[in-house]
Structure 1
Amino acid sequence: MRGQVTPTPVVSATPTPTIAGYTMEQVKANNSAQKCWSAIDSKVYDLTNWISSHPGGAGAITSLCGTDGTAAFKGQHGGSGQPASRLAGYLLGPLNK
């Protein structure tokens, strides 16, 4: 079997961001602490791994699971750079309206 090369599979630990985007129905389907998505400012975020780390407690995040969390996020964090920067790390892709 000389000359044969076996391709190495690429494993992705997180969902791959998509240009096509996500629907609100997809966000609503991920509405638990085990799979927590939220739409904020027309973008979809997977907040599942942030639940246990949020300084304000898990409840602040689980209340956003499966919802449009824009008002709650802005109401709590306003224009603060650090929360917005942290949120960016959980981005899945745009919300299709």
Structure 2
Amino acid sequence: MLYEVKKLLLTRRIKDLLEKNQITILHYIPGRVRLCSPLWKQHPEIITRLIFECKNENRIRSVTYSNETGSLLVKFDATPVTDLYQIEMWIETLGSILNGNK
């Protein structure tokens, strides 16, 4: 029961983080997601930090940013993540970058 509650809370945090930062999921298939935000063109330092952090994550295979479209393509290991603590840490890192704290 506690595991399910934590999953719901994490899902809500992710949704709020995406909405707050105007991040849209343009396309998703397992192992590949394309994200877009109008804020990234205005604040290229966010993308630089996101790419740096993604490249340090062993589950992420590649990260490519297109300045023309303002989209970020992330290719990753599609094996499901069951470690909720790891997911929480990813959310914290992403939140810190998007809020200019990291």
- TM-score category (smaller protein): 0.3 to 0.5
In terms of fraction of residues, the more helix-rich structure is 2
The TM-score normalised by the length of structure 1 is: 0.33
Higher RCO (Cα < 8 Å, 6 or more apart)? 1
User: Could you state the TM-score of these two structures normalised by the residue count of structure 2?
Assistant: 0.32
